[in-house]
Amino acid sequence: MTDTTGAHDAFPSAHALLKKYGLHAKKSFGQNFLISERVFRAIVDATVVTEEDWIVEIGAGLGTLTARLAQRVPDGKVIALERDPDMVTVLRGELGHNDIVHVEAIDALRYDLRMAARWHGDEPITVCGNLPYHIASPLIFRVIDARASVRRAVVMIQKEMADRIVAEPGGKEYGALGVMVRTYVDVKTVAKVGAGSFVPAPKIDSTVIVMTPLPGNQPRVPIADEAHYSVVVHAAFGQRRKTLRNALKAKFEAARVEAALTATGIDGVRRGETLSIAEFAALAAAIPTSALEA
């Protein structure tokens, strides 16, 4: 059931904007426009903490969320990122007069979040947006890489991806994505979003999550070499039906794998999906970077 109850008259609907500008959603851009006021409120409430917040919105589209964010930060800034020229035209036509909104015609994967924080006087910014599924993962890791400049990130992603990010060890959803994300941020679910909350309705449901960098922007456990840690984590999940020992041996020298399992006290017959973040960090520390198979 589509939730449009309580829609604010000050904000034009996605339907009205598409009609006004003679546009339609483009599959090539993964466009599905949010129309649920319940979800708009949930996203804005999770994003805005003070009236002075600076927010970088990824994929601003028609500006329906942008306008609601701008209303809540009268002394702040909303930097609206959008790569579709038609959507940029709508954003500038509808919000170009608003001093709080700054429209950037750019692919979010090329935008420098650290630069936005410098523009904000070296104060952290908040990231917000409905992430297209095919680039959601790299966008999330761009946020994580820039976490020293990011206070929090409130993003809507495919439900399946959200389930994998919040999964605990031992479940079928638990994998490299969740381990790598939660090594660096806390994750909380804000809202479940049905397909009927969009126009056009996608074939999948979505979830809004909040990612908050850990204190000091440090990883959850000490990691000497973050790139090597990532290789170890992905190797452990690379062949899910294999034991941890065999999965690691597909990537690293067998003798080094055996030595690392012995040193950490981790049973090699376990599966990668049973390991905690601390255990992955211990393995990464015990397997030398030089142990990669040629």
pLDDT digits (tens, 9 = 90+) for 130-189: 998 889 999 999 999 999 999 999 999 999 999 999 999 998 999 999 999 999 999 999
> How confident is residue 196, by pLDDT bands cut at 50, 70 and 90?
very high
Give the pair of three-digit tokens for residue 66. Answer: 């942008």
**Looking at residue 251, what is its pLDDT?**
94
> How confident is residue 190, by pLDDT bands cut at 50, 70 and 90?
very high
Please list, in sequence order, all residues whose beta carbon lies within 8 angstroms of the beta carbon of residue 193, skipping any fewer than 6 positions away. 36, 39, 156, 159, 205, 206, 207, 208
Say how far apart CA 60 and CA 26 lie, in whole Å. 14
**Looking at residue 9, what is its pLDDT?**
53
> How confident is residue 240, by pLDDT bands cut at 50, 70 and 90?
confident
Residues 192-214 have a mean pLDDT of: 95
pLDDT digits (tens, 9 = 90+) for 38-93: 999 999 999 999 999 999 999 999 999 999 999 999 999 999 999 999 999 999 99
**Looking at residue 5, what is its pLDDT?**
40
Q: Model-level pTM?
A: 0.92
Please list, in sequence order, all residues whose beta carbon lies within 8 angstroms of the beta carbon of residue 140, skipping any fewer than 6 positions away. 131, 153, 155, 157, 181, 211
Domain boundaries, the chain: 14-217, 226-291
pLDDT digits (tens, 9 = 90+) for 88-135: 999 999 999 999 999 999 999 999 999 999 999 999 999 999 998 889
CATH of domain 226-291: 1.10.8.100
Candidate CATH numbers 2.40.33.10, 3.40.109.10, 3.40.50.2000, 3.40.50.150; the one for domain 14-217: 3.40.50.150
**Cβ density class 3-39: b for 16+ within 10 Å, e for less:** beeeeeeebbbbeebbeeeebebeeeebbbbbbbbeb
From first CA to last CA, the distance across the chain in angstroms is 54
- Left if phi > 0, otherwise alpha if psi is -120 to 50, otherwise beta: which for 265? left
Percent of the chain with pLDDT over 90: 87
